[in-house]
């Protein structure tokens, strides 16, 4: 977010919903009696793995791209992304017929890079650090005049991501808890805006991998703490929490729950077994967090946003082997 950009609010979420209607899918909500019994709670899964490009990211990217005036749009858009946001922005740009540049870090999931290229984006590679990604993104922006669409601190992106929770809470206003994954915080912050407006008594929980737990540390300290080198298979949650996202989430009274990679993969396998939905590890952290904290969720109606399903199929055997016989 630039220093002059306004803080997004619920009105922006409503505007985003109108702007992306007919472009983004209104994804289904599914239930599972087996998983309810396993968790001791009533779970409602918002299936963003069935969104366009296979992740919630299309909502925010579409809102950002469709917000641009025609003159600005012709110069294109640029972002940095480990995968899903890049694919989402590429598809949104393709829909509007404008150029898209995506800076991708070394080590990104091959399936996600293939999706970005499939949607017509120009890839720019860099080292696997946030600093390298942002430096390359700034260079491409300066060279091309493209509009930067940050993966999670752009107010337009945050508002767009909030439309998933808007749909869920409109259909199920009696939720007592809502769980979303957190990395950079775009989905989490957008969800917080919707929760505060539509269900102020609903408690917001953030599921975070313990190998990239800067959100948990930041909440504990009361200030942003980015002193970490991510060490998690949850590639979609390796980004550091944005300042604007931190402010929105603290104002919403969110609580962070950390899970390790083994728990995430065990939950991923459980979701496949019980619902036949293939989720990426980053997405499965939400169920893992619920199952790891039974006292928090027992006998409550719990909304769970499944963020994405873009898994490298060749890596599945190794992923499931990581969990072994572990139970989430």
Show Cβ contacts of residue 103 under 8 Å, excluding neighbours closer than 6 positions: 78, 79, 80, 81, 123, 124, 125, 126, 133, 136, 137, 140
Show Cβ contacts of residue 321 under 8 Å, excluding neighbours closer than 6 positions: none
Mean pLDDT across 168-182: 98
Reported as a pLDDT band with limits 50, 70 and 90, residue 209 is: very high
Read off the pTM.
Answer: 0.93
Predicted pLDDT at 2? 43
Predicted pLDDT at 312? 80
Reported as a pLDDT band with limits 50, 70 and 90, residue 3 is: very low
Report the number of secondary-structure helices (H) and strands (E) in the chain: 15, 10
Q: Are the beta carbons of 83 and 284 closer than 8 angstroms?
A: no
Structural domains of the chain in order of their starting residue, each with its CATH number = 10-55+154-323 (3.40.50.1100), 58-148 (3.40.50.1100)
What's the mean per-residue pLDDT of the chain? 94
Rounded distance, CA 166 to CA 271, Å? 24
Rounded alpha-carbon distances, angstroms, from residue 28 to 45, 76, 99, 109, 241: 8, 32, 31, 26, 28
At residue 165's C-alpha, the angle toward residues 163 and 168, to 5°, is 110
Q: Are the beta carbons of 156 and 16 closer than 8 angstroms?
A: yes
Predicted pLDDT at 327? 64
Task: For helices 110-118 and 84-96, give the axis angle rounded to 10 degrees.
Answer: 10
Mean pLDDT across 66-78: 98
The DSSP secondary-structure symbol of 98 reads -
pLDDT for residue 1 is more than 60: no
């Amino acid at each position: 977010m630039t220093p002059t950009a306004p803080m997004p609010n619920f009105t922006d979420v409503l505007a985003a919903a109108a702007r992306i209607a007919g472009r983004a899918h209104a994804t289904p909500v599914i239930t599972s009696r087996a998983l309810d019994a396993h968790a001791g709670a009533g779970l409602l899964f918002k299936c963003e793995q069935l969104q366009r490009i296979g992740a919630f990211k299309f909502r925010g990217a579409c809102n950002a791209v469709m917000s641009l005036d025609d003159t600005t749009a012709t110069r294109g858009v640029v972002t940095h992304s480990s995968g899903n946001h890049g694919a989402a922005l590429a598809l949104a740009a393709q829909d509007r017929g404008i150029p898209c540049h995506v800076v991708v870090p070394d080590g990104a999931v091959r399936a996600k890079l293939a999706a970005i290229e499939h949607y017509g984006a120009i890839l720019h590679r860099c080292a696997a650090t946030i600093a390298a990604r942002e430096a390359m993104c700034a260079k491409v922006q300066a060279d091309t005049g493209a509009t930067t669409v940050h993966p999670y601190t752009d107010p337009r992106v945050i508002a767009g991501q909030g439309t998933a929770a808007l749909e869920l809470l409109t259909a199920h206003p009696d939720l007592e808890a809502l769980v979303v994954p957190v990395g950079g915080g775009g989905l989490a912050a957008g969800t917080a805006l919707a929760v505060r407006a539509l269900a102020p008594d609903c408690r917001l929980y953030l599921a975070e991998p313990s190998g990239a737990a800067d959100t948990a540390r930041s909440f504990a300290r009361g200030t942003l703490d980015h002193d970490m080198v991510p060490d998690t298979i949850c590639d979609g949650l390796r980004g550091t929490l944005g300042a604007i996202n931190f402010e929105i989430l603290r104002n919403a009274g969110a609580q962070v729950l950390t899970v390790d990679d083994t728990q995430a993969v065990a939950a991923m396998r459980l979701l496949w077994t019980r619902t036949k939905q293939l989720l990426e590890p980053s997405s499965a952290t939400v169920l893992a967090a619920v199952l790891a904290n039974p006292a928090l969720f027992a006998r409550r109606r719990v909304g769970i946003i499944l963020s994405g399903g873009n898994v490298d199929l060749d890596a599945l055997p190794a992923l499931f082997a990581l969990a072994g016989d572990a139970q989430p």
